[in-house]
Amino acid sequence: MHTEELDALKRQNQEKPLSRRDFVRVLSVASAGTGLVTAGLTGLSLTSSQRAEAAELIVETLGKLPTVKLGRLPMKVTPLCISQDWSRDLLAPALDLGINFIHKAGYWNNVPDEIKKLPRESYYTDITVDNTSPGHDPDNYDEAYNQVKNSLAKNDLKYYDIYRAHYGWHSPEKVKPENNTSYKAFLKLKKEGLVKYFGVSQHPYDGTPAEVIEKYALMTQACIDSGIIDAMQVWYSYGYPKEVMDIFAKASKAGIGMTAMKINAHGRGKMGADKERQVALKAEGMIGRALIRDVMTEKRPDGKPIFHTCVSALRNQQTFEENVGGVSKKVAMRDGFDQFQYEV
């Protein structure tokens, strides 16, 4: 199909949906290039079934995702997680690709049908527990315990794999097991079979950039020293200072399962301006893909990756294809990108 023909179809599509024949022709053009399928569909207004068909093609293009061990935990997770606040139409393709870790599942009132029908053991979840969030009382045992209990009563997920203290603690003393109310609530919930592992979604604190790094280092070290933290989710993106990377490398080396978040929100501008880095990551013009590859190939001093998985806010098919492609083996091979280590 020639460009002129495609343009004519796009113009025609302003008036009415593409016919089956035309849609198939457009799809075959979209999948023939080495770029994104969704890029070939830009400017077209597709019906629900056409979108579903495009999603199937995207899944085929990306291939099944690999899994990696989440630090010392007996969990093999995909290098990218589903987030509870993703667009619902992305869940089916994500599950088809094998994505098996759902972040913030504890906030769901009702689990979406795509997930409800799966055996509970076939995927992992976490709950971000809010008694450590701003405005809450980190010593409120009942709030922590009841959030987990009440959410499971609503969404029927049976259990969460990871209990994450949301935002994290504000002093090293509060992380220590003897002072840690979240940990006490976790132990009770674990005994009841409602959670399995203890973790934190550590947010940085307000302050100058130097103060933020200093506090992040202090609290990450406290988490390592406590010996009770199995998993950490942290803000990390392209352009963050090396000092921050060094802190997370230490946590990763200590066997803590590491998840990176805020990858797109915080790195987009810098990566967008750095064409050279995009080229090095074999993702020229695909900022989401470049950001994911950058974060997921950050190395510890021993050469192993710092992060085992990451969270990215995905809200349409194009960002889905671009971002998920960042951790796809099939796409990496096609792009000649050989920096992933799948066996950690």
Partner 1 sequence: MIAAWTPPEWVYNCFPRPELETEVVTLDYVMEAMQAEIAACTEWDSTPLGRVLHVAHMLVSHQGADGLWAATFHLRTGKDVGVERSSAPLSLFRRLNAILDSTEFDFALRRGEAGVLSQKE
Name the site residues for partner 1 (rule: CB under 8 A): 46, 51, 84-85, 87, 89, 104, 107-110, 130, 133-136, 151, 154, 167, 203, 206, 209, 237, 239, 264-266, 269, 313, 315-317, 319
Helix axes 141-155, 181-191, angle to 10 degrees: 40
Considering the complex, state which of residue 273 and residue 333 has its C-beta at the smaller distance from partner 1. Answer: 273
Considering the complex, state which of residue 99 and residue 311 has its C-beta at the smaller distance from partner 1. Answer: 311
Considering the complex, state which of residue 46 and residue 187 has its C-beta at the smaller distance from partner 1. Answer: 46
Least separation in angstroms between CB 81 and partner 1? 15
- Cα dihedral angle (300, 304, 308, 309), rounded to 10 degrees? 80
Q: How far is residue 221 from each of residues 101, 173, 226, measured CA to CA in Å?
A: 26, 12, 8
Cα 333 to Cα 335: distance, rounded to the nearest angstrom? 5
Going by C-alpha positions, the residue among 200, 239, 253 that lies closest to residue 223 is: 200
Work out whether the CA dihedral 162, 166, 172, 173 comes out positive or negative.
Answer: negative
- The answer to whether 305 touches 341, Cβ cutoff 8 Å, is yes
Tokens (6 digits) for 167: 């935002």
Least separation in angstroms between CB 43 and partner 1? 13
Considering the complex, state which of residue 170 and residue 176 has its C-beta at the smaller distance from partner 1. Answer: 170
Least separation in angstroms between CB 166 and partner 1? 10
Least separation in angstroms between CB 146 and partner 1? 11
CA 72 to chain CA centroid, nearest Å:
19
Least separation in angstroms between CB 213 and partner 1? 11
Extract long-range pairs of 50-58: CB within 8 Å, 24+ residues apart.
50/17, 50/18, 50/23, 51/89, 51/317, 53/23, 53/27, 54/27, 54/30, 54/317, 55/89, 55/92, 55/93, 55/317, 56/93, 56/96, 57/27, 57/30, 57/31, 58/93, 58/317, 58/320, 58/321
Considering the complex, state which of residue 230 and residue 298 has its C-beta at the smaller distance from partner 1. Answer: 298
Considering the complex, state which of residue 121 and residue 206 has its C-beta at the smaller distance from partner 1. Answer: 206
In a 3-state reduction of DSSP, which class is residue 256?
Answer: coil
Considering the complex, state which of residue 181 and residue 226 has its C-beta at the smaller distance from partner 1. Answer: 181
Least separation in angstroms between CB 193 and partner 1? 22
Considering the complex, state which of residue 13 and residue 339 has its C-beta at the smaller distance from partner 1. Answer: 13
Least separation in angstroms between CB 300 and partner 1? 24
- The answer to whether 246 touches 298, Cβ cutoff 8 Å, is no
Least separation in angstroms between CB 21 and partner 1? 23
Going by C-alpha positions, the residue among 281, 272, 328 that lies closest to residue 93 is: 328
